[in-house]
Amino acid sequence: MEEVDVEPTITNIPAISDGKHMGFAWGPGDILVYETRYKASGASGSGCSFIHEIRKDEDIYSPILRKLFNESHHIFVGLQTIREDLPSKSKKPQFVSISKNYRSVIRACMEELQQVAVSTKNTELATQCGNQVSILLAIELIWNLCEVLFIDAAPAGSLLLHLLDWVRLHKADVDEKAREVLQSESPAEHRDYWDVVVSYVLQGRLEEVRQMLVKQANLQPAARSMYKQMDTLLSKMPFYNPGGTQTLTEFDVKWRHWHEEVDRCLQDNSFASNRHLELICKILLGDEDTLLDHKELLGTWYHFLVTRLLFCHPTVKLTELHYYAQSCMTMFLDSRSVPEPLDNILLAAFEFDIHQVIKECSIALNNWWFVAHLTDLLDHCKLLQSHNLHFGSNLREFLLLEYASGLFTHHSLWQLAVDYFDHCPEFGRVYLELQIERVPLETERKALKVLRVCEQRQMSEQVRSICKIMAMRALRNNRLGSALSWSIRAKDAAFATLISERFLQDYCAKGTFSDLDLIDNLGPAMLLSDRLTFLGKYREFHKLYGEKRFREAAKLLLSLMTAKIAPQSFWMTLLTDALPLLEQKEVIFTADQTYELMFCLEELTSSLNITASSTDRPMQEEDVEVTKVELLRLALARNLAQAIVKEGTVEI
Amino acid sequence: MESINAKYVSQKISKTKWRPVSHSDLQLPEIFATGSWDNEDNRISIWSIGSNLSTGMEDGFEGDPQLLCEHKHDGDVLDLQFLDQDRIVTASSTGAVTIFRHHQNSQVLAFEFLLVDPEVLLVQTISVSQLWARAHRYPCDNAPCTGVVCSSPEIVTVGEDGRIVVFRADQEGVVRVIENADSSTIHAVTYLRTTEILTVNSIGQLKLWDFRQQSNSPSQILSLSGDRVPLHCVDRHPNQQHIVATGGQDGMLCVWDVRQGNTPFSLMEAHTAEMWEVHFHPTNPDHLFTCSEDGSLLHWETSSHSDMPSFLQGGRNSSMVSRSAMAPAGGKQPLISAWLSGDSSKGRLETTHMLPSQTLSVNSLDVLGPCLVCGTDGEAIFVNRQVPV
């Protein structure tokens, strides 16, 4: 057995007392736990009669996060339809835009949760929403970094610009503070004024810095020239323009010149009289100690990393990042403090260890949504090929299956899971087959939706099973018509036979057919089973009889017996039905047909005699039968006589 | 596509309906109701797309549907109709038929220090005003009620139990029941005339019932020949009551003329899966809308014989009308709906997809004036306020 990555978390089940034995059963997204009847020696007390359901993933039940699942499902399906054979150059912008779509969905969700957390009076709900917001924040932070590093994989120069955007987006509290400062009566004298200025410098937002400094310069006319000099330095700092004509080398030369100029200013003590300006100057030089002195403004080690890169190595390449990341993290975090899971995840990303990122995220987060979607996207970017799991098929499929199985346990989100299973080539179908059969079917509408899913995927076994469930339910509620419709849809001959029998029994008991609208319109479906065919044909006989088309009716009736479509148990009924036809004034059965009828009657009575001798039938019933046979024989003989006479007569 | 507005609502929507606008003023529809299905607790919700309605919510840009109020609903909402301006009838999977009342009180609150314009404070609530539990049932189980149609105060419901039940909104009991109206499930119902209704069932039949007759059998049965494809929805042409459109399991759109023949007048391939709803545009019936399990919403447009709107064609001169009245059946009639103009109509029939690509079922749609609303299994409501009709 392999070592575990982290110690498993312990969930205490309050109602189960110490020393009791627990049993459990795995479900797709949860575990059922119960107390067993096993009694340890000396243990006493009655058992607890509860079954506990333990869920790992609670997020799926959050109404706001449901929007995340639904919207991302749409993006996911869109991603799967991007054609494989396109050149990777034209695919990359598509992948980046899909990644941005995912992130904007996360952002929208976060904003809504934030709003609920603020507006609700329910403290429990507020904390819950607050927690979810912080989780989503972390998710978005990681996703954004992965987008910059793996999906976009920008070249040197642009890379730093992307990283700057990343930090600015996730350190938005500066803007809030700046707004506060600017709205005060005298911004330049606000106590947070310099914090805001320095924060802007650290994020490389030099335009904002200059605007802020103007306010200060206006207050200090004496120091105006010094402020002017700083302003020039700030305005001259070169930024790489990826769309421009400038090459990276040209930019590098220009940047070095600027860097030397800043250094000169510091050396000749141009700003010595103003500690704030001197500080800005040092930051512009990328002085590590100065930066580390402002940890609280940087907030995180990755902000430190990006600031350091901005002022020391603006042309950093993807492959060099891991070196700076590692050192920045060690420098920034005290030797005492342990890195948080988020730090490790980001570091792994900087080190380009995608699998480590996914692994750490899987451990740290309580739902599969993030890892499943991110892995899928990275897999589409062909970044995960080398890795194979020693279980399941591959990492992408494994995570998607886990996520989709979780969705399937939800009473309402199961429909989303179907598309995820569809895009798992190896095990998706098996999972879907097992899960879809277990969807509870409360209404026919839902059954139809489930059936549609199965039929689209040629899952005939499941189609049969669902139709059978519905047919059984209809039968139990005495809805024979519905039951027959369902079994016809499933092409379930055995069940169709069973229901046809019920129809015939009903007919024998009541003398009329129920559900004529269905039986009259069976059409080709009639051929599903022999008994159903008989039912349909027998009804046709009644229709012909009702329309007084006696000759056709007689022919049909006879053929039902001679072609052995009718079950023998029903022959007596058929022969009795022939009685009124035999008694008509006009001769309907020809001599040949009458012989055949007689033959049928004899065959029936001889077989009845055998059975009659073995069973003790009440005398009265037998009497009725005997009278019926007598009557039939008489009618047949009379009809035969008439027929012979008629057929022998030559009309002149 | 730009005018389409999507909102995710965290519940699968089974039904959407605009609240009727009063005829006296030419208002645009502003309020619609939705029902959910397949949730642990289902709801019926009232939404507004009006811009001048302040609900205290500042999120969302203009035109985003805002939730006014909602109420728990036992079972899936399988159908939903407005009885009048503020009463809604729902059909539940538990077999119950419920009337909800939407209260919209512009209460002037007693707080004098309130700085908000009191007119703006509409108190929106919804409550159950009448309930017929187990209106549809089996001997020992509930049967889902699948469809409801009403013409105030009369309410007609149909269900999986094959029964047709008639209620009156002002009476507690049941007015009339047709037991065993259908041997299979009745999927939908609509009025043909004030005393006649049409039902469609799961074996491809269209049945016409005349309530003036006491008999419990349909006055007419129309059916698709042979293949018994279940029909899921039905709608009647708003002006020419003999024209009826249905949608079936195979996604086919059928147009029927109930006066002539027992088979559909025309069949048109529309969707690749179950068609859940079909609606003629209430004031411009040359336009028709369908939605389906395959995730699409189609807008059908048939152009009339001339550029003149169809309702003017017959009345060009009175002599023509009288001649047509005397003309033998099958003779060329001047007033013939574009939907019944035969094969040539196919060439003039235009269809457009109204939703951006999406994979989950569009369960319901409703169109009123230039506004269309639809709800999906993807838990989204789409509103289009500029339908080109």
- Residue B26 is predicted with a pLDDT of 67
| The CA-based dihedral angle spanning residues B47, B51, B55, B56, taken in that order and rounded to the nearest 10 degrees | 140
CB neighbourhood size of A634 (10 A):
11
**Contacts by residues B244-248 (CB-CB < 8 Å, ≥ 24 positions apart):** B244/B190, B244/B192, B244/B198, B244/B206, B245/B278, B245/B280, B245/B288, B245/B339, B246/B200, B246/B206, B246/B278, B247/B271, B247/B274, B247/B275, B247/B276, B247/B277, B247/B278, B247/B290, B247/B292, B248/B204, B248/B224, B248/B274, B248/B275
Worst-scoring range by mean pLDDT, A160-164, B93-97, B325-329, B345-349?
A: B325-329
Q: Is B18 on the interface with A (CB under 8 A)?
A: no
Mutate to test the interface with A, among B4, B36, B45, B183 (most CBs of A within 10 A): B183
Averaged pLDDT for residues A21-50: 73
pLDDT digits (tens, 9 = 90+) for A439-493: 999 999 999 999 999 999 999 999 999 999 999 999 999 898 899 989 988 888 9
Averaged pLDDT for residues A273-286: 90
- Residue A221 is predicted with a pLDDT of 83
Mutate to test the interface with B, among A76, A410, A448 (most CBs of B within 10 A): A448
- Residue B14 is predicted with a pLDDT of 96
Q: Which residues contact A197 (CB under 8 A, 6 or more apart)?
A: A209, A212, A213, A276, A280
Residue scoring higher pLDDT (B343 or A627): A627
Q: Which two tokens stand for residue A8?
A: 């498993």
Q: Is the pLDDT of residue B259 over 80?
A: yes
Q: Is A521 on the interface with B (CB under 8 A)?
A: yes
Cα B152 to the center of its chain, rounded Å: 16
- Residue A43 is predicted with a pLDDT of 55
Averaged pLDDT for residues A123-145: 91
Q: Which two tokens stand for residue B285?
A: 């019936």
Identify which of A266, A169, A277, A176 has the alpha carbon closest to the alpha carbon of residue A228: A277
- Residue A33 is predicted with a pLDDT of 85
Mutate to test the interface with A, among B203, B216, B293 (most CBs of A within 10 A): B203
Backbone angles phi, psi at A54, to 5 degrees: -115, 125
Which strand ranges, in their side-by-side order, compose the sheet holding A51-55?
A22-26, A30-35, A51-55
Q: Is A479 on the interface with B (CB under 8 A)?
A: yes
- Residue A40 is predicted with a pLDDT of 62
Q: What percent of chain A lies above the pLDDT cut of 90?
A: 34
Q: Is the pLDDT of residue B149 over 90?
A: yes
Report the C-alpha gap between B16 and B18 in whole angstroms. 7
| CB pair distance less than 8 Å for A481 and B8 | no
pLDDT digits (tens, 9 = 90+) for A184-222: 888 888 888 999 999 999 999 999 999 999 888 888 888
Distance from the Cα of A407 to chain B's closest Cα (Å) equals: 13
Report the C-alpha gap between B273 and B250 in whole angstroms. 5
Q: Which residues contact B344 (CB under 8 A, 6 or more apart)?
A: none
| CB pair distance less than 8 Å for A449 and B184 | no
Q: Is B366 on the interface with A (CB under 8 A)?
A: no
- Indicate the pairing of strand B77-82 with strand B66-73: unpaired
3-class SS at B237?
coil
Report the C-alpha gap between A327 and B367 in whole angstroms. 63
The answer to whether A523 and A488 are in contact (CB under 8 A) is no
Q: How confident is the model at residue B111 (pLDDT cuts 50, 70, 90)?
A: very low
Averaged pLDDT for residues B209-233: 87
CB neighbourhood size of A577 (10 A):
17
Q: Is the pLDDT of residue B268 over 90?
A: no
* Exposure class string for B205-238: b at 16+ Cβ within 10 A, else e: bbbbbebeeeeeebeeebbbeeebbbbbbbbbbe
- Window 294-353 of B, Cβ < 8 Å to A: none
Identify which of A227, A191, A224 has the alpha carbon closest to the alpha carbon of residue A210: A227
Q: Is A342 on the interface with B (CB under 8 A)?
A: no
Q: Is the pLDDT of residue B328 over 50?
A: no
Q: Is B57 on the interface with A (CB under 8 A)?
A: no
Q: Is B203 on the interface with A (CB under 8 A)?
A: yes
Q: Is A512 on the interface with B (CB under 8 A)?
A: no
Cα A442 to the center of its chain, rounded Å: 21
Report the C-alpha gap between A233 and A241 in whole angstroms. 19
What element of type H or E holds B198?
A: strand B196-201
Report the C-alpha gap between B104 and B122 in whole angstroms. 6
Averaged pLDDT for residues A212-239: 88
Report the C-alpha gap between B338 and B324 in whole angstroms. 17
- How does DSSP assign B80-109, residue by residue? EEESSSSEEEEEETTS-EEEEEEEEE----
Q: Which residues contact A519 (CB under 8 A, 6 or more apart)?
A: A503, A513, A535, A536, A539
The answer to whether A292 and A331 are in contact (CB under 8 A) is yes
Averaged pLDDT for residues B16-28: 81
Q: How confident is the model at residue A2 (pLDDT cuts 50, 70, 90)?
A: low
pLDDT digits (tens, 9 = 90+) for A524-568: 888 888 888 998 888 888 889 888 888 888 888 888 888 888 888
Give the ipTM: 0.86
Q: How confident is the model at residue B53 (pLDDT cuts 50, 70, 90)?
A: very low
Q: How confident is the model at residue B28 (pLDDT cuts 50, 70, 90)?
A: confident
Q: Is the pLDDT of residue B115 over 50?
A: no
Report the C-alpha gap between A301 and A346 in whole angstroms. 10
Tell me the pLDDT of chain B averaged across its residues. 82
Q: Is the pLDDT of residue A425 over 50?
A: yes
Q: What percent of chain B lies above the pLDDT cut of 90?
A: 49
Q: How confident is the model at residue B120 (pLDDT cuts 50, 70, 90)?
A: low
- Residue A562 is predicted with a pLDDT of 85
Residue scoring higher pLDDT (A515 or B162): B162
| CB pair distance less than 8 Å for B138 and A445 | no
Averaged pLDDT for residues A88-107: 91
Averaged pLDDT for residues B244-267: 88
- Residue A390 is predicted with a pLDDT of 65
Report the C-alpha gap between A504 and A531 in whole angstroms. 9
Report the C-alpha gap between A238 and A221 in whole angstroms. 28
Q: Is A523 on the interface with B (CB under 8 A)?
A: yes
Q: Is the pLDDT of residue B1 over 70?
A: no
Cα A477–Cα A482–Cα A483 angle in degrees, nearest 5? 70
CB neighbourhood size of A529 (10 A):
21
3-class SS at B236?
strand
Alpha helices for chain B (secondary structure H): 310-313, 318-326, 344-348
Q: How confident is the model at residue B64 (pLDDT cuts 50, 70, 90)?
A: confident
- Indicate the pairing of strand B231-236 with strand B220-223: unpaired
Q: Considering CB atoms only, which of B93, B182, B359 is closest to A517?
A: B182
Distance from the Cα of A386 to chain B's closest Cα (Å) equals: 32
- Residue B59 is predicted with a pLDDT of 43
Identify which of A498, A476, A478 has the alpha carbon closest to the alpha carbon of residue A487: A498
State which amino acid sits at residue A277: L
Q: Which residues contact A181 (CB under 8 A, 6 or more apart)?
A: A187, A190, A192, A193, A196
| Sign, Cα dihedral of A494, A500, A505, A506 | positive
Q: Is the pLDDT of residue B325 over 70?
A: no
Report the C-alpha gap between A264 and B97 in whole angstroms. 85
* Exposure class string for A423-439: b at 16+ Cβ within 10 A, else e: bbeeebeebbeebbeeb
